[in-house]
Amino acid sequence: MQPTSVNMFRINRSDFIQDPAWAVVANNFMCDYPEFSQYSYMVPLRSVEPIPYPNVHTLFEAIMHYMCSAGVRYTYALNQWMIIYPLISCENWDTVVSNIRALASNEKIQKKKRGMYLSLCEFMLEHEITHKNISVADLPKLKSVSGIGPGCIAWCKKYFTSDNDCVEYTDICFKKGFSKLYGGKDSVAQRKKVAEEWTAKGYGRIANLMVLAIGAYA
């Protein structure tokens, strides 16, 4: 009996997508960008995946979690999150703000991160936004808050919308995937330019998910 080729298992996952509209997007994308065809076994079956992190359910929690995990090892971020989450999961917004302010003296949390959390809450107070009424429409306003850039906004849109404007071109995993696809050294400006092209063609979401998967697993 001849050994089975590994390539036989690299099937086009788009054949198993249950949402017809998403299947069309995936197939059209692979046709327009054939460099992705070798990774057809990584096509995401859903356009919006559930958030794969513990105790991240709301948009506010997602923003805080992103700020917590950005730039650090996730094992460290997870320990930090175990401290932070109980402080921000309160019903009352004033209690949440009070708890975040109290973090300023908690040396178990990075000093820089403490400042970022407080800046977010102060900004939200100033603009009459709470942990319960914050929406995706508020995200562009948050760009002035330290720790919230295009990466954070795209990450939130990936999980809380079906928008195509969600390409995480600043993400380290995205960078790895992009490099595997196109080789050589690249810059944030180059990745942003390609991301804008994908988004303009309606492929921002599928491209983002594919590049992230390639960066993580290929």
> The domain that contains 106 carries what CATH number?
1.10.340
For residues 66 and 128, state if they share a domain: yes
Per the listing, tokens 């092209």 go with 197
- The reported pLDDT for the residue numbered 4 is 36
For residues 133 and 177, state if they share a domain: no
37 part of a folded domain: yes
- Burial bucket for residue 27 (CB in 10 Å: 0-12, 13-18, 19+): middle
* Domain end residue (candidates: 116, 137, 160): 160
- The reported pLDDT for the residue numbered 13 is 83
For residues 136 and 201, state if they share a domain: no
**Domain containing residue 194:** 6-48+162-217
Sites in the chain below the pLDDT cut of 50: 1-9
- The reported pLDDT for the residue numbered 48 is 97
For residues 66 and 99, state if they share a domain: yes
- Nearest-5° Cα angle at 117, 91 to 112: 155
For residues 74 and 151, state if they share a domain: yes
* Domain end residue (candidates: 134, 160, 186): 160
* Domain end residue (candidates: 114, 131, 160): 160
Backbone angles phi and psi of 91, in degrees to 5:
-70, -40
Return the SS3 of 69: helix
For residues 68 and 84, the answer to whether their CB atoms sit within 8 Å is yes
44 part of a folded domain: yes
For residues 138 and 193, state if they share a domain: no
For residues 135 and 79, state if they share a domain: yes
Residue type, 70: A
- The reported pLDDT for the residue numbered 15 is 82
